[in-house]
Structure 1
Amino acid sequence: MKIRELTDYLEKIAPLSYQESYDNAGLIVGNPNDEIHRALISLDCTEAVVDEAIAEGCDIIISHHPIVFKGLKRFSGQNYVERTVIKAIKSGIALYAIHTNLDNVLGGVNSKIAEKLQLESISILSPKKKLLKKLAVYVPRTHVEEVREALFTGGAGQVGEYDQCSYNTAGYGTFRPLEASNPTIGTHGTQERVEETKIEVIYPAHVERQVLVAMFSAHPYEEVAYDIITLENAIPQVGSGAIGNLPEAMPAKEFLSFLKESLQLSVIRHTELLDRPISRVAVCGGAGGFLLQDAKRSGADIFITSDYKYHEFFDAEHKIVIADVGHYESEQFTQELLLELIQKKFANFAVLLTETETNPIKYFI
């Protein structure tokens, strides 16, 4: 299949618009119309991973972390980023990253961690705002059903577990066609009064283009009257971290042993254990310290993440346990998640998990 088929599917699950501003998720090397036959999945993209892809006959590497975060001004092989990109290009291997956009969806990276910990009633820890928009369009009564259906087909009207949602207000519109116009209704120079309905629908910002294309295609007017506003409403299924409950509360030390075994950890750095069992668990793959207050507000007994600095541990303030499990360790199961997602959709497409150890941090135990 073509690269575009695979990336379009992944970006329906984790739209690129959901990534953080500093991120560089998406197709980094390769042409979307190139054909691919075999993929290699890895948490990181390194020279060794590219070598593995060459040896395995893979023509695309799908990694969680992008090999390129910032713009490269030259490709002279002076560092591992440049060398990796050069080697991929020379070998005809496409590089694709699905990073914070996969972090930020329910069913993504953090949901996979929660699954490994057997958490129940999993939800987003900190839902994102300003990812929804509302469109209001004014339609003559004769075309209301046609335009409304087009908006739904274009991707508008989904509210949680409901679709085809709209609000419709009856009224009338006035206009006077000028000489250069080509009106569907009315004559030049004469004011018209037309019975109209204002259709209002909500849609995710990343589907705006297809919603507008659908609206213009179905609307009979030469000049369509419409307005768009960005909403403060959060999307419950989109955001940072995850929160869930253990099937049964566990003593803190017992839970740490369970955590170590479940995530295959060598070591856990943690704050003082509190004199209460662990029942409600917050998680964030990668560097999640920015979510500590959300974890506290959610009623979590423990917050599992990585990349905590010494002084940041004091912020637990004896109200929650902070458990730093390591960056690689917290996200390692993302590879398994991507394998499952791709195999579910493309059963006959060859996809492999890397056997290259990419964790740059080693432990002497």
Structure 2
Amino acid sequence: MIVKDVLSLLNDFSPLFYSEDFDNTGLLVGDPTNAVKGILVTLDTLESVIDEAISKNCNVVVSFHPIIFSGLKKIIGRSYVERVVAKAIKNDINIIAVHTALDNSFQGVNAKICEKLGLVNRAVLIPKEQTVKKLVTYAPQKECQSILEALFKAGAGAIGNYDECGFVVQGIGSYRGNESANPVIGEKGVRHQGPEEQIHVTFQSHLENQVVAALFNTHPYEEVAYGITTLENTNQHLGMGMIGTLENEMNETDFLLFLKQSMNTQCIRHSSLLNKKIKKVAVLGGSGSFAIKAAIGKGADVFITADLKYHDFYTAENEILLADIGHYESEQYTKELLHAHLTKKISNFAIVLSEINTNPISYF
């Protein structure tokens, strides 16, 4: 296995295509063609984590947070970022980061928080827009089924909890080839008309190249007529944050105690108690102040996130309980997700869960 293969496995779990524009994900240090000896999974890539990777004979570090976030103009050891990068290069350590790709995944950061809290009936809090596309193409009737099968195999036709979804319309197609054409059906210079079917399938944006490749590899015509459009449909399985419900409602103080224990946090900063029951819960790991209004709009009784500023608490507007559990605390179980996925997919060398607590914040 090479580093590129590890990237492919991570893409299957949470496509890097859906990382936010401001983010820096993928292979940050190393070479995609390097052979993999072992993988260390961590939340953050610090010097101590690189030392741990070296001691455990792991030459790939899979990190949630990217060690390189903004541009590096020099690598002379003046900051922890420069020192990490220099040490990784010196010791042939490859560093991969997934960050907001996993934030946007339906089985990612926020799903893990929901799991810890036992939330049911989960849905994406802020669906990612313009990530659903539709392919329309035309083919001879007898070839339609084989084309559909190829498109489904490439990932098209998946909608929420359903797959192999498509729509076919029968009609009459026509074309005329010039002297350089080699028509599969009909003759050069003569207009051909015959029964065709119009095929419609939807797909997620990151699959476009493989869906189009499947179409061209299967379609019999020399020239394939097709169109791709971006839909306004809500993506049910992609986006920031999640919302779900507790099996049994709780009063606010009982819920905050339950939250503190479930998320293993020493401190919860929260807005004013509203003297109402907690049933519907919204969550967003990491810095989530931008999603407060979305949580209110979805009717959540509480919104759990991190890094709320002083004035953010005012935006609760006595409509919702805001609970800041800490940035590290909200994402601490993320490395377990990555470790479990890679362990399931790879069996021929070690997948190691980092033992280092990378939380930069201490409580007195």
Interval of TM-score (by shorter of Structure 1 and Structure 2): over 0.9
Q: Distance in 2 between matches of 1:85 and 1:318?
A: 46
1:245 maps to 2:245 = yes
What pairs with 1:29-108 in structure 2 (closer than 5 Å)? 29-108=29-108
- Do 2:13 and 2:341's aligned partners in 1 also have CA atoms closer than 8 Å? no
1:298 maps to 2:298 = yes
- Do 2:39 and 2:352's aligned partners in 1 also have CA atoms closer than 8 Å? yes
Partner of 1:283, secondary structure, is strand
Letter in 1 for 2:234: A
Letter in 1 for 2:70: K
Q: Distance in 2 between matches of 1:71 and 1:191?
A: 58
1:272-305: CA deviations, max 9, x gaps?
Answer: 0111121211111001111111211222111110
Letter in 2 for 1:18: Y
Partner of 1:126, secondary structure, is strand
Residue 80 of structure 1, CA deviation: 1.9
Q: Please, what TM-score do these two structures have when normalized by structure 1?
A: 0.95
Letter in 1 for 2:9: Y
- Do 2:122 and 2:245's aligned partners in 1 also have CA atoms closer than 8 Å? yes
How many residues in Structure 1 have an aligned counterpart in Structure 2?
A: 364
1:57-115: CA deviations, max 9, x gaps?
Answer: 21111110011123333333332222211211110111011111111112211111111
Q: Distance in 1 between matches of 2:178 and 2:299?
A: 63
- Do 1:3 and 1:32's aligned partners in 2 also have CA atoms closer than 8 Å? yes
Q: Please, what TM-score do these two structures have when normalized by structure 2?
A: 0.96
Cross-structure match for 2:309: 309
What pairs with 1:214-293 in structure 2 (closer than 5 Å)? 214-293=214-293
Q: Distance in 2 between matches of 1:337 and 1:186?
A: 56
Q: Which deviates more, 158-167 or 89-98?
A: 158-167
- Do 1:303 and 1:322's aligned partners in 2 also have CA atoms closer than 8 Å? yes
1:33-63: CA deviations, max 9, x gaps?
Answer: 3221321111111122111211222111111
Partner of 1:358, secondary structure, is coil
What pairs with 1:59-208 in structure 2 (closer than 5 Å)? 59-208=59-208
1:102-154: CA deviations, max 9, x gaps?
Answer: 11112211111111112222222122221111000111223212222221122
Residue 348 of structure 1, CA deviation: 4.8
- Do 1:3 and 1:35's aligned partners in 2 also have CA atoms closer than 8 Å? yes
Partner of 2:134, secondary structure, is strand
Structure 2: any 5+ residue segments left out of the alignment?
none
Partner of 2:311, secondary structure, is helix
- Do 1:37 and 1:59's aligned partners in 2 also have CA atoms closer than 8 Å? yes
Q: Distance in 2 between matches of 1:241 and 1:143?
A: 42
Partner of 2:171, secondary structure, is strand
Residue 347 of structure 1, CA deviation: 4.2
Partner of 1:304, secondary structure, is strand
Q: Distance in 1 between matches of 2:146 and 2:323?
A: 54
Q: Distance in 1 between matches of 2:194 and 2:77?
A: 67
1:309-347: CA deviations, max 9, x gaps?
Answer: 111110000100111111111101111222222222224
Partner of 1:134, secondary structure, is strand
CA RMSD of aligned residues (A): 1.5
Letter in 1 for 2:18: Y
Q: Distance in 1 between matches of 2:300 and 2:23?
A: 28
Residue 156 of structure 1, CA deviation: 1.1
Q: Distance in 2 between matches of 1:198 and 1:25?
A: 39
Q: Distance in 2 between matches of 1:213 and 1:71?
A: 35
Residue 245 of structure 1, CA deviation: 1.4
Q: Distance in 2 between matches of 1:265 and 1:135?
A: 47
Q: Distance in 1 between matches of 2:119 and 2:211?
A: 37
Q: Which deviates more, 185-194 or 6-15?
A: 185-194
Partner of 2:272, secondary structure, is coil
Partner of 1:247, secondary structure, is strand
Q: Which deviates more, 59-68 or 145-154?
A: 145-154
Q: Distance in 2 between matches of 1:73 and 1:184?
A: 57
- Do 1:129 and 1:231's aligned partners in 2 also have CA atoms closer than 8 Å? no
Q: Distance in 2 between matches of 1:149 and 1:297?
A: 40
Residue 180 of structure 1, CA deviation: 2.2
Q: Distance in 1 between matches of 2:258 and 2:188?
A: 77
Cross-structure match for 2:339: 339
- Do 1:177 and 1:187's aligned partners in 2 also have CA atoms closer than 8 Å? yes
Q: Percent of aligned positions with the same letter in both sequences?
A: 48
Partner of 1:232, secondary structure, is coil
Partner of 1:106, secondary structure, is coil
- Do 1:172 and 1:195's aligned partners in 2 also have CA atoms closer than 8 Å? yes
